[in-house]
Amino acid sequence: MNVSEARDSIEKLADEIRKHNYNYYVLSKPVISDYEFDRLLQRLIELEKAFPALLSPDSPTQHVGGEITKDFRQIVHKYPMLSLGNTYSEEDIRDFEERIHKTIGYEVEYVCELKFDGVAIGLTYRNGRLVQAVTRGDGIRGDDVTTNVKTIKSIPLRLQGRDYPEEFEIRGEIILPHASFEKMNEQRMEDGEDPFANPRNAASGTLKMQDSAEVARRNLDGFFYYLPGNDLPFRTHYESLQAARLWGFKISEYAVRCKTIGDIFDYLSTWDQARHELPYDIDGIVIKVNDIRQQELLGFTAKSPRWAIACKFKAEQVSTRLLSVDFQVGRTGAVTPVANLEPVQLAGTVVKRATLHNAGVISTLDVRIGDMVFVEKGGEIIPKIISVDLGERPAGATQLNFITHCPECGTLLIRTEGEAAWYCPNEQGCPPQIKGKLEHFISRKAMNIDSLGEGKIEILFDNGLVHNYADLYNLTYDQLIGLEKTYEPSGEKKEKKISFREKTVSNILNGIDASKGVSFDRVLYALGIRFVGETVAKKLAFHFITVEKLMEADYDRLVEVEEIGEKIAQSIRSWFSDPQHTALIGKLRAAGILFRIDESLVTRLSDRLAGLTFVVSGTFQNFSRDELKKTIETHGGKNIGSISSKTSYLLAGENMGPEKRKKAEKLGVPIISESDFVKILLEN
């Protein structure tokens, strides 16, 4: 295939994939299977790799991510990104309408929209292509997060149609749907990290991540609702939304035009209840004057437009009695206080339990057993207690103190400086920690022993058959056959029984045996080292290749690995310095578990760069950063994330951060260009 043929094929594939992206992520009406879509995308990736000069910045492959952004540039907004005035009452809405009428008369039409609970964003398009994405910031300037926003599949990198302005900005909200939020928090808790409090915080944190590939995996979404500027070809705001929909933007289907204040109140009343059925969070509605000429007449205050107002829903709260407090121990040893409540209806569900987070929260609230407490549910994993009704406090109620010893094994709790949680350090002897670690070890993204799900780990532990990961590989048919347990699943009244019959036992043993083929990076993740999630485990495995080299690595060598910071490095050193853990590695190795990366996965073309370490920073003319890093690895070199005296070269492109250059110059690390790198590769 020549360049001309490749260009035609790439353009046709890209157009087809854009249409399928729009159908799936914007219209929610896919017309092909995921398998067929993946084949199209893979074909496009292969063509772009074969003909890198034909890779376009608006190619659908750019949704995958891969670029690393260390510093987010500050960008001044062309039009200030003002906030909206907020109201919580019908009286305020009536006052808003009266002010409108005093200025422009009584012939006013409004548009009512959902107020998405996310992160405000402004996207700039030039000649139909996305060129910049900037957060709200302080309203005057925000952060350039273009690289990360490009990974959001519902956001068009190239617009549809032809009738869009040559250059314009569109504003909206980046959100994290409930399904993505729950999946992400499950993963964080598996990794021993604190879950995000709500989808908005998670979306905000995700937008500022350095690795755009990780942003892509989190499945952000976005809705758009405003085109600022004076030279746009629209008479009304509603008309501009319909045009933006045709260009490929995700515009809410729930925006409606309202003629009277009664229509507005009906809309508000509807969504105060219906919002619980949405797959994402909203925290109110927005009311806007529809006519753009009238908007111009009304103008702006220093902080907000006079032609729009946000009516926010009151956070849902209920009052109920605190009956008792349990202290739960997780697989990392963190102890969490959980309040048991008199059952109460809240946000469409019956609430019986609420989190008290940690010792600091208990102390701040001064909560006591028997208190009437106010419980709120605003996007959190479980409801939380926000305050106490002191007027209803029972006589003689005594102060609730955080426990000093583990409720499961009696070990004295400890707290690391700078952290809020108290921990049980008895990880080898505390039952919920042992069971939690075993459940993590067998999970799908770790060793994938799915035949051991459904509470079977608890049966094995209760019968004294497993205390650590290695014990799983010593299980026999005779030990397992006939085991059973009756239990009551959470939230259900009927009891269930698990019985280890012949087929069950056979499946378990086959699943355990199959897990011996799991790759080293997943084994490393399965070990449950604190802060070592899937991504970190993969980077460590491919950097060190074998567990021996990882175990020998000191702190300085660990922090050289991309994305490995002080906290992760210290956690890894601490884990491998424990003799019980090194003994466990030995037992797992004897059982046949893989503790080295398969050489076939680390393609080595030559050893020309063997012994050399590189820091790659900036943007390059002929290669992407990922291509340069892959070239380094395939010729025997190593990529590291930070500069030290041991760094061989700083491979510097345009827009490289000045701090890296200063550090390299201070340490005497050679700074080379893209062409210098090619010469080194050819000469060695």
- Paired tokens of 317: 């709260």
Burial category of 528 from C-beta neighbours within 10 Å (exposed 0-12, middle 13-18, buried 19 and up): buried
Of 166, 180, 30, nearest in space to 118 by CA = 180
Q: Which helix (H) or strand (E) holds 652?
A: strand 649-652
- Nearest Cα residue to 385 out of 359, 345, 346, 354: 354
Marked catalytic residue, from 12, 70, 78, 115: 115
Q: Which two tokens stand for residue 348?
A: 């469409």
Tell me the C-alpha distance between 136 and 121, whole Å: 6
| CB-based burial label for 573 (10 Å; 0-12, 13-18, 19+) | middle
Rounded to the nearest 10 degrees, what angle do helices 199-207 and 178-190 cross at? 80
Q: How far is CA 524 from CA 360, 369, 470, 519, 572, in A?
A: 34, 43, 14, 9, 11
DSSP state for residue 278 in the 8-state scheme: S
Q: Residue 314: which of 258, 267, 268, 371 has the closest Cα?
A: 268
Helix axes 90-104, 261-274, angle to 10 degrees: 150
3-class DSSP assignment, residue 554: coil
DSSP 115: E
Q: Can you list the positions of beta strands (E) in 365-519?
A: 372-376, 384-388, 422-423, 484-487, 496-499
Please count the other Cβ atoms lying within 10 Å of the Cβ belonging to residue 232.
16
Contact criterion met (CB below 8 Å) for 105 and 289 = no
Instruction: Look at residues 650, 567, 670, 519 and name the one whose alpha carbon lies nearest to residue 558.
Output: 567
Give backbone dihedrals phi and psi of 388, rounded to 5 degrees, phi first: -120, 140
Q: Alpha helix (H) ranges present in 192-236?
A: 199-207, 212-217
Per the structure block, which two tokens stand in for 372?
């009437």
In angstroms, the CA 135 to CA 644 distance is: 33
Q: Which two tokens stand for residue 274?
A: 């219906």
Side chain identity at residue 233, one-letter code: P
Asked if 629 is an active-site residue, the reply is no
Active centre residues (catalytic): 115
